[in-house]
């Protein structure tokens, strides 16, 4: 055992630091001052040369943000110093569509993260956001010809203002919650996707979000519209350098899945443990549509994120698969929401959380069935795994059913890795860390098996690192 | 010096209760030792302590493996050196298939044997040997993709224990009541599987209450284990005598054999 302990201690921080935790020099086109005010809003909007309605939308959102109190539930957000954050950094003057055109520090960062290589192998399109702006963007020509739009949100607004104006802030109103209001005020970057009727995008589109500067605030904004009978799988990843002071990431993601369409949105969140990750994600699914959130939360200091699906059309189906891993100093307040508005809709929420070394992971979920959503079905399963006595797991399942003709199931379990189970695995030659990692991999297998192979491998590798205590 | 040697081994529970009270045993490859004893005699405690279970404390004596003192080593290091325990009650690991479990275990052992350097087995080679071992032990091939011991019947668990033994190729295998819960056909297959592995590369310690597994695995040595001690030793004929006469004759003076 002593050897394993030593290995664990030696491993702490080393791998994340090398693989993701590095930072490079700041040689930026524009960097705002710290703090948040209406002058900043004007500066951002002017930099982006936005239409007047968007500028007004931002100002109003800032008012909402300032007027709303901080939430007192979930995690502790009271320690965030909003005046110490940089809200807008534009690293380059222009977006590139070739990696070679990026400044060398930024290009090196993407190379280290393996994005250009992944693009070649298995992605249909890539957006790479660095600080506040998407510095690289590309979509396969074949998909462009089929009418698929995959742009950063700012370009989306410039090139497709009519679509953006119609949907922006409609699924998640600007005053939905304090952090949605913040994002609505200072948003920058993110993805804009439109998939025309019947078009199936077979390979995933990926966005990667990278924070480099200290005390950075990243506020990407994503809008995805999947038209009738179409399909898209969007994957996002995110990492940041390790700093001793806090950064803030607060995104808003709005998705519209039209009749008979299907959208899958996969997140592998691996922020360094000084990042507050406060994200609002919501999708609406129309008749016979399917929306799937696959949400992996491994990093960050505090994550508050509950991907939601509003089942608006008859026969719509929604799934949330959520994994949260909380290590030392981390609090993952994750979960999912399903709101059944139409008849014969169905939802499945599966949540798996793992806590170790004093980490805290929770499931916070909402299941709501409105009157008239007869014949609807829902199943909520949340399992927690505690790796030691110092760690914590919480479950907050809110259920509100206003219709009698429904089929609702809810299961929750909390388990611990037992001494007997570890002994069994170690008697086969696995070290204690390997044995624990195996139990954890098995525990999350129902979710990792849903990921494309490359991401499943990545997820398992990240879990392995977490188990060795080397992340954060 | 034998490959595995127990020298005056004493084992206690965490609360201090002494269970194993001085055992000497020497096991080599190409040998089968049967340890036979009644319920509560401390047989399973001996097996766990041999494998390094942290809840069983070795209060006196030593365990030597290949000349090295492994008394203080964890179960992982013992396994990496070639010791194996087939569990009486194997544990489930939901979400981990038999195949991936075995591949991880093999790679962990290979890594240790390569001085800490990764040296993973090639996937085709692994698959081939897994399929061969499964066929040999009549474990249906689809079991490879089931989660290990999760929802397995008692007989399936025991077979998969022996499958693991065949795949991990230990030098000494300890079988803890592998015969319990097996019907006669399964017992035959499992016992023949063990018998087939015993040879110049492997020796076995068969821990059992009953003589019936010994109809298929012929022991070279039989040790009668009562009240935490080996009270009599002999050849295969001793097992038959036990079957006919029971353990009463061996009960230690002044003790019921339970502890």
Q: Which residues pair with A340 in a beta bridge?
A: A311, A369
Residues of chain A contacting B104 with CB distance shorter than 8 Å: 430, 434, 438
Q: What is the mean pLDDT of each run of 10 residues along chain A (472 residues)?
A: 36 65 90 94 95 98 97 94 95 93 93 91 92 94 95 97 97 98 98 98 94 95 98 94 94 98 95 96 98 94 97 98 93 97 97 93 95 97 91 93 95 87 96 89 86 80 68 34
User: Is pLDDT at B127 greater than 70 in this prediction?
Assistant: yes
Say yes or no for a CB contact (<8 Å) between A444 and B101. Answer: no
Q: Tell me if A220 is assigned to some domain.
A: yes
Residue A463 region by backbone torsions, left for phi larger than 0, else alpha for psi between -120 and 50, else beta:
alpha
The model carries a pTM of 0.83
Q: What CA–CA distance (Å, rounded) separates A305 from A282?
A: 10
User: Is pLDDT at B257 greater than 50 in this prediction?
Assistant: no
> Chain B interface residues facing chain A, Cβ-Cβ under 8 Å?
48, 51-55, 74-76, 78-80, 84-85, 87, 90-91, 93-96, 101, 104-106, 108-109, 112, 147, 164, 168
Say yes or no for a CB contact (<8 Å) between B96 and A445. Answer: yes
Q: Tell me if A367 is assigned to some domain.
A: no
Residues of chain B contacting A442 with CB distance shorter than 8 Å: 93-96, 147
A317 class by beta-carbon count within 10 Å (0-12 exposed, 13-18 middle, 19+ buried)? buried
Residue A156: which domain range? 2-305+417-467
Specify the pLDDT at position B217: 92
Say yes or no for a CB contact (<8 Å) between B90 and A424. Answer: yes
Q: What CA–CA distance (Å, rounded) separates A44 from A94?
A: 15
**Out of A1, A421, A431, closest to residue B93 by CB:** A421
Q: Which of B95, B109, B146, B176 best tests the A interface by mutation, with the highest count of A CBs <10 A?
A: B95
Q: What CA–CA distance (Å, rounded) separates A413 from A401?
A: 22
Q: Residue A459: CB partners within 8 Å, gap ≥ 6?
A: A268, A296, A298, A323, A444, A448, A451
How close does chain B come to A2, measured CA to CA in Å?
9
DSSP class of residue B2 equals -
Specify the pLDDT at position B243: 83
Q: Tell me if A383 is assigned to some domain.
A: no
Q: Nearest chain B residue to A440 by CA: give it.
A: B95
Specify the pLDDT at position B42: 94
Q: Residue B92: CB partners within 8 Å, gap ≥ 6?
A: B147, B148, B149, B150, B151, B152
Q: Tell me if A361 is assigned to some domain.
A: no
C-beta separation of B226 from B251 below 8 A: yes
Residue A441, chain B, CB below 8 Å: the answer is yes
Q: Which of A426, A429, A448, A456 best tests the B interface by mutation, with the highest count of B CBs <10 A?
A: A429
Q: What CA–CA distance (Å, rounded) separates B88 from B71?
A: 22
Specify the pLDDT at position B71: 96
Say yes or no for a CB contact (<8 Å) between A430 and B90. Answer: no
**Average of pLDDT values for B129-142?**
94
Specify the pLDDT at position A249: 97
Q: Tell me if A58 is assigned to some domain.
A: yes
Q: Nearest chain A residue to B98 by CA: give it.
A: A442
A404 class by beta-carbon count within 10 Å (0-12 exposed, 13-18 middle, 19+ buried)? exposed
Specify the pLDDT at position B252: 59
Q: Tell me if A259 is assigned to some domain.
A: yes
Domains and CATH numbers, chain B: 4-250 (3.40.50.300)
Residues of chain B contacting A444 with CB distance shorter than 8 Å: 95
DSSP class of residue B216 equals T
Angle at B111 between CA B106 and CA B114, to 5 degrees: 125
Starting at the edge strand found earlier in the chain, the sheet holding A376-386 runs A133-139, A125-130, A205-210, A231-239, A262-269, A290-297, A317-326, A346-355, A376-386, A406-416
What is the total count of domains within chain A? 1
Residue B32 tokens read as 């089968």
How close does chain A come to B165, measured CA to CA in Å?
9
In tens, the pLDDT along B20-78 reads: 999 999 999 999 999 999 988 999 999 999 999 999 999 999 999 999 999 999 999 99
In tens, the pLDDT along A285-339 reads: 999 999 999 999 999 999 999 999 999 999 999 999 999 999 999 999 999 999 9
Q: Nearest chain A residue to B146 by CA: give it.
A: A442
ipTM: 0.95
Residues of chain B contacting A427 with CB distance shorter than 8 Å: 51-52, 75-76, 78-79, 84-85, 87
Q: Which of B49, B76, B104 best tests the A interface by mutation, with the highest count of A CBs <10 A?
A: B76
Please provide residue B30's backbone torsions phi and psi, each rounded to the nearest 5 degrees.
65, 20
In tens, the pLDDT along A38-53 reads: 999 999 999 999 999 9
- Across all residues in chain B, what is the average pLDDT? 92
In tens, the pLDDT along A135-150 reads: 999 999 999 999 999 9
- The H helix count followed by the E strand count for chain B is 7, 10
Element (H, E) at A16: helix A14-19
Q: Tell me if A134 is assigned to some domain.
A: yes
User: Which residue matches tokens 């990243």?
Assistant: A218
Residue A49 region by backbone torsions, left for phi larger than 0, else alpha for psi between -120 and 50, else beta:
left
How close does chain A come to B105, measured CA to CA in Å?
6
Q: Which of residues 350 through 389 in chain A touch B, CB cutoff 8 A?
A: none
User: What would the DSSP string read from start to end of B18-77?
Assistant: EEEEEEEEEE-TT-EEEEE--TTSSHHHHHHHHHT-TTSEEEEEEEEETTEE-TT--HHH
Q: Identify which of B191, B210, B242 has the alpha carbon closest to the alpha carbon of residue B32.
A: B191
Which carries the bigger pLDDT value, residue B140 or residue B246? B140
Number of Cβ pairs < 8 A linking chain A and chain B: 81
Say yes or no for a CB contact (<8 Å) between B104 and A434. Answer: yes
Residue A460, chain B, CB below 8 Å: the answer is no
How close does chain A come to B89, measured CA to CA in Å?
10
- Give the model's confidence band at B251: pLDDT under 50 very low, under 70 low, under 90 confident, else very high: low
Residue A151, chain B, CB below 8 Å: the answer is no
């Amino acid at each position: 055992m002593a050897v394993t302990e030593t290995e664990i201690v030696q491993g702490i921080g080393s791998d994340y630091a090398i693989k993701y935790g590095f930072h490079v020099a700041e040689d930026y086109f524009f960097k705002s001052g710290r703090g948040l005010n209406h002058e900043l809003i004007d500066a951002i909007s002017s930099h982006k040369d936005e239409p007047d309605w968007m500028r007004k939308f931002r100002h109003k959102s800032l008012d909402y943000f300032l007027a709303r109190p901080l939430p007192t539930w979930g995690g502790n957000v009271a320690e965030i110093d909003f005046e110490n954050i940089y809200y807008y950094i534009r690293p380059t003057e222009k977006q590139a569509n070739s990696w070679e055109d990026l400044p060398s520090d930024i290009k090196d960062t993407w190379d280290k993260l393996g994005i250009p290589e992944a693009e070649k192998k298995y992605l249909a399109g890539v957006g790479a956001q660095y600080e506040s702006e998407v510095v690289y963007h590309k979509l396969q020509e074949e998909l462009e010809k089929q009418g698929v739009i995959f742009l950063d949100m700012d370009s989306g607004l410039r090139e497709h203002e009519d679509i953006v104006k119609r949907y922006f802030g409609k699924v998640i109103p600007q005053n939905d919650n304090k952090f949605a209001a913040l994002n609505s005020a200072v948003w920058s970057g993110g993805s804009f996707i439109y998939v025309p009727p019947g078009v199936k995008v077979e390979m995933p589109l990926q966005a990667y979000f990278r924070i480099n500067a200290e005390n950075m605030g990243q506020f990407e904004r994503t809008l995805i519209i999947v038209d009738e009978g179409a399909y898209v799988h969007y994957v996002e990843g995110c990492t940041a350098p390790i700093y001793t002071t806090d950064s803030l990431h607060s995104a808003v993601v709005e998705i519209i899945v039209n009749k008979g369409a299907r959208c899958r949105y996969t997140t592998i969140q691996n922020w360094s443990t000084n990042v507050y990750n406060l994200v609002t994600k919501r999708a609406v699914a129309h008749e016979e549509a399917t929306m799937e959130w696959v949400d992996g939360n491994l990093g960050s200091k505090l994550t508050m994120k509950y991907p939601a699906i509003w089942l608006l059309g008859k026969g719509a189906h929604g799934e949330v698969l959520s994994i949260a891993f909380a290590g030392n100093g981390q609090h993952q307040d994750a979960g999912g929401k399903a709101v059944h508005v139409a008849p014969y809709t169905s939802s499945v929420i599966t949540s798996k959380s793992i806590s170790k070394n004093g980490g805290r992971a929770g499931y916070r979920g909402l299941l709501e069935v409105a009157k008239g959503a007869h014949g609807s079905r829902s199943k909520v399963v949340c399992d927690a795994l505690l790796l030691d006595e110092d760690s914590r797991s919480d479950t907050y399942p809110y259920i509100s059913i206003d219709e009698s003709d429904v089929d609702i199931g809810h299961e929750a379990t909390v388990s611990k890795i037992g001494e007997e189970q570890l002994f069994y695995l170690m008697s086969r030659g696995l070290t204690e860390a390997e044995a624990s990692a195996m139990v954890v991999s098995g525990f999350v297998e129902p979710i990792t098996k849903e990921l494309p192979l490359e991401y499943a491998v990545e997820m398992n590798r990240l879990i392995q690192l977490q188990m060795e205590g080397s992340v954060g | 010096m034998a490959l595995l040697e127990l020298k005056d081994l004493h084992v206690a529970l965490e609360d201090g209760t002494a269970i194993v009270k001085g055992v000497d045993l020497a096991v080599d490859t190409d040998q089968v030792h049967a340890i036979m004893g009644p319920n509560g005699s401390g047989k399973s405690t001996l097996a766990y302590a041999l494998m390094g279970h942290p809840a069983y404390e070795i209060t006196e004596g030593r365990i030597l493996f290949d000349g090295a003192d492994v008394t203080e080593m964890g179960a992982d290091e013992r396994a990496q050196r070639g010791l194996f325990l087939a569990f009486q009650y194997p544990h489930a690991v939901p979400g981990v298939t038999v195949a991936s479990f075995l591949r991880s275990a093999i790679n962990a052992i290979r890594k240790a044997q390569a001085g800490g350097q990764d040296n993973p087995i090639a996937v085709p080679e692994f698959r081939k040997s897994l399929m061969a071992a499964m066929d040999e032990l009549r474990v249906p091939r689809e079991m490879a993709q089931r989660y290990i011991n999760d929802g397995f019947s008692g007989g399936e668990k025991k077979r998969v224990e022996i499958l693991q033994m065949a795949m991990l190729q230990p030098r000494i295998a300890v079988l803890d009541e592998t015969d319990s819960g097996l019907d006669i056909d399964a017992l035959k297959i499992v016992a023949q599987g063990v018998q087939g592995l015993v040879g110049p590369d492997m020796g076995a310690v068969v821990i059992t209450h009953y003589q019936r597994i010994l109809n298929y695995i012929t022991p070279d040595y039989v040790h009668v284990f009562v009240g935490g001690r080996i009270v009599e030793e002999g050849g295969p004929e001793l097992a038959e005598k036990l079957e006919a006469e029971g353990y009463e004759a061996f009960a230690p003076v002044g003790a019921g054999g339970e502890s």
